[in-house]
Amino acid sequence: MSSSSSPRPSTTHDVARLAGVSQATVSLVLGGNPRARVAAATRERVIRAAEELGYRPNIVARGLVRGRSYALGVIVPDLANPFFLEVVRGIERVASTAGYAVLLCDARETTPARHLEALRARLIDGVIVDPLGVEGLPADSLTDLNLVVVDQPSERWPGVASDAEGAGRLAAEHLLALGHREVAMVGPATDVHSFRMRERGFTRALRAAGVALPSGWLRRAPATVAGGEAAMRALLPRRGSRPTAVFCTSDLLALGALKACATAGVAVPGAMSVVGCDDIEMARVVTPELTTVAVPARELGARAARLLLRQLDGRGGETRPGRVLPVRLVPRGTTAPPPTDP
């Protein structure tokens, strides 16, 4: 029977006293140490006493002596982007299953460097950095830190990644197959690696097909709905000289682009095709539904977490590069052949 409210949480000492054993024995029994050899009778008594007192190990104390906190840090560029949220969910699922807490850090609120400082002070066991340019971080904030990177290449840190370049290529091939030749692209001006790779995959596939991407048709905008809207607006004005299709390197941008088209009275996909990237839930909410490239966000997060956990358990030696997660095109309602020229 579990006890009721106690003013001060009970400790191993309390349990020891009640069970009539030494505090160390309690630790041995309750510490979950597999190779702890304790007499069955003693163990039994300790466990009952612990239940009686409603004993809960103090993770902070344990962390102090073991030098570990059983907590992970996660730094993402922007939590408001559903894609990153999905990655975080993947991380949380496996972390909490393994008994780890997750400290979520949004780079929009504080700089990654400051977040890192705060995390270290908490004896964080490891950190997962979603595409954010770890390389740009102050070196000494990274020393002796268990780190796993998501969607960015690194000599120094192990990581997991999706096929970002493939995502761009898929988008291009889809548009090309539909017959588009006048295409534009909008992406954020950040140094987030996966965004750059998406762009590269797109432009390369275009070039391989002999299609040029005029510099004026490469719009930069923050990876938000508002950003996409503004970018598309800039792409629309002069009839005749506008693209017939646009690739947005993030669904949020694509949603904004769709909005701009709706506002301007440009029919999608009749007069303009739009392709996004991520496949967030909202992609299927708009009408017509957004054609996009699906990226396995949750799986990405889960793998990153597993990789980090393995590393923490010392089983990190096997740093096999880790397969790049495949992406896939999801053709929906915002793409069609270009309008036949009047």
Partner DNA sequence: TTGTAAGCGTTATCAC
Partner DNA sequence: GTGATAACGCTTACAA
- List own/partner pairs for 312-318 with CB under 8 A and 24 or more apart: 312/68, 312/125, 312/126, 312/146, 316/158
Residue 127 token pair = 């950190």
User: Looking only at residues 199 through 218 of this chain, which bind DNA when binding is defined by CB under 7 A?
Assistant: none
- Contact of residue 1 among its own copies, DNA, none (CB under 5-8 Å per partner type): none
- Contact of residue 28 among DNA, its own copies, none (CB under 5-8 Å per partner type): DNA
Q: For DNA, which is the closer residue by CB, 141 or 190?
A: 141
User: Looking only at residues 165 through 194 of this chain, which bind its own copies when binding is defined by CB under 8 A?
Assistant: none
Q: CB of residue 147 vs its own copies: minimum separation in angstroms?
A: 14
- Alpha carbons 282 and 334: distance in angstroms, whole number: 14
Q: Does 27 bind DNA (CB under 7 A)?
A: yes
User: Which one, of 165, 223, 173, 176, lies nearest residue 198 by Cα?
Assistant: 165
- Contact of residue 80 among DNA, its own copies, none (CB under 5-8 Å per partner type): its own copies
Cα 161–Cα 98–Cα 15 angle in degrees, nearest 5: 160
- Contact of residue 313 among its own copies, DNA, none (CB under 5-8 Å per partner type): none
* DSSP, residue by residue, 84-99: HHHHHHHHHHHHHHTT
Q: Does 143 bind DNA (CB under 7 A)?
A: no
Element (H or E) spanning 301, and its range?
helix 297-312
- Alpha carbons 67 and 79: distance in angstroms, whole number: 30
Number of residues that bind its own copies (CB under 8 A): 57
Residue window 42-71: x/- pattern of binding to DNA, with contact defined by CB under 7 A: xx-----------xxxx--xx-xxxx----
Q: Does 23 bind DNA (CB under 7 A)?
A: yes
Q: For DNA, which is the closer residue by CB, 61 or 267?
A: 61
- Neighbouring residues of 98: CB distance < 8 A, sequence distance ≥ 6: 309
Backbone phi and psi for residue 148, each to the nearest 5 degrees, phi listed first: -130, 135
Q: For its own copies, which is the closer residue by CB, 256 or 269?
A: 256
Q: Does 238 bind DNA (CB under 7 A)?
A: no
Q: Does 233 bind its own copies (CB under 8 A)?
A: no
Q: CB of residue 29 vs DNA: minimum separation in angstroms?
A: 8
Which window, 152-160, 164-172, 209-217, 279-287, contacts its own copies (CB under 8 A)? 279-287
Residue 8 token pair = 């001060």
User: Which one, of 87, 161, 147, lies nearest residue 115 by Cα?
Assistant: 147
Written as one letter, the residue type at 326 is P
Among 47, 98, 101, 324, binds its own copies (CB under 8 A): 101
Q: Does 79 bind its own copies (CB under 8 A)?
A: yes
Alpha helices in the chain (DSSP H): 12-19, 23-30, 40-53, 59-66, 82-97, 112-121, 164-178, 193-208, 225-235, 251-264, 297-312
- Contact of residue 109 among DNA, its own copies, none (CB under 5-8 Å per partner type): its own copies
- Alpha carbons 300 and 159: distance in angstroms, whole number: 10
Q: For DNA, which is the closer residue by CB, 59 or 266?
A: 59
The residue ranges that bind DNA (CB under 7 A) are 8-9, 11-13, 20-25, 27-28, 30-31, 33, 37-39, 41-43, 55-58, 61-62, 64-67
